[in-house]
Amino acid sequence: MDALRTTKVAVVTGAGSGIGRAVAAELLRTGWSVALAGRRTGPLEETAATAPEDACLVVRTDVSRPDDVTALFTAVRDRFGRLDLLFNNAGTFGPGGVPFEELPYDAWRHVVDTNLNGAFLCAQAAFRQMKEQDPRGGRIINNGSVSAHTPRPHSAPYTATKHALTGLTKALSLDGRPYGIAVGQIDIGNAATGMTAGMRTGALQANGEIAPEPVMDVADVARTVRHMAELPLEANVQFATVLATGMPYVGRG
């Protein structure tokens, strides 16, 4: 336990693929201990495969289930003794290409439960642990997406939850001050992951056209998250936007 406590400890949700896997790998590469959380054990074990065994903890977690989240943070406390970082990353886009008026309520609820309620549950568990541990404090970084600012067509559930995450980030940043808990948000646009695989061939634009969009290396996102994570708790990146330079986001396309 004493040896492990000399290393900073992170929880990464959605760590089995995409941005979560890239961030977890970057933290592990640079000496962090990381609890890998996600719904499927197999992909989490693939993320952990190249890391030292004592640096990783794999915990199958559905972040929308309170009991799963409680079990995750209990396992982190029991294994590592403290928590320095939560990267609140788990999320889903929901059904693509479905007009708003045809969107099933169950699909809406699934996105809200994962993206927003899951982030709330994990942040609340992290808050409790960071407030009680000695030394007190830690950092939470929420994955907001550029959809926290600008929607894509047919993305009401995803966009609504990402806008809500911005409000959660601001509220938690304020509530965490007395306890040395720094809270920030990274808004990501077109990182090359499985979720964005189709963008190179064509994505639906606001004017109804289908057009290819540039993507960026997800490793650039991971390095940005690590920079935010390794700041002293006296400093905080409140909001960071990292995006493919040429994507249609700034200006009029």
pTM for the whole thing? 0.92
Per-residue pLDDT of the chain (253 residues), as tens digits, is: 334 345 899 999 999 999 999 999 999 999 999 999 999 999 999 999 989 889 999 999 999 999 999 999 999 999 999 999 999 999 999 887 799 999 999 999 999 999 999 999 999 999 999 999 999 999 999 999 998 998 888 889 999 999 999 999 999 999 999 999 999 999 999 888 776 667 767 787 777 788 788 899 999 999 999 999 999 999 999 999 999 998 888 876 5
Task: Give the span between the Cα atoms of 105 and 241, in whole angstroms.
Answer: 31
Domains of the chain: 4-243 (3.40.50.720)
Tell me: cis bond preceding 153? Omega within 30 of 0 counts.
Answer: no
CA–CA separation, 39 and 59 (whole Å): 9
Residue type, 241: T
Q: With contact defined as beta carbons under 8 Å apart, do 215 and 191 qualify?
A: yes
Tell me if residue 97 falls in helix, strand or coil: coil
**Does 158 participate in catalysis according to the annotation?**
yes
- Best CA proximity match to 62, nearest among 101, 90, 35, 86: 90
Q: For residue 1, which of 65, 67, 57, 77 has the smallest C-alpha distance?
A: 77
Count of all residues that appear for the chain in the document: 253
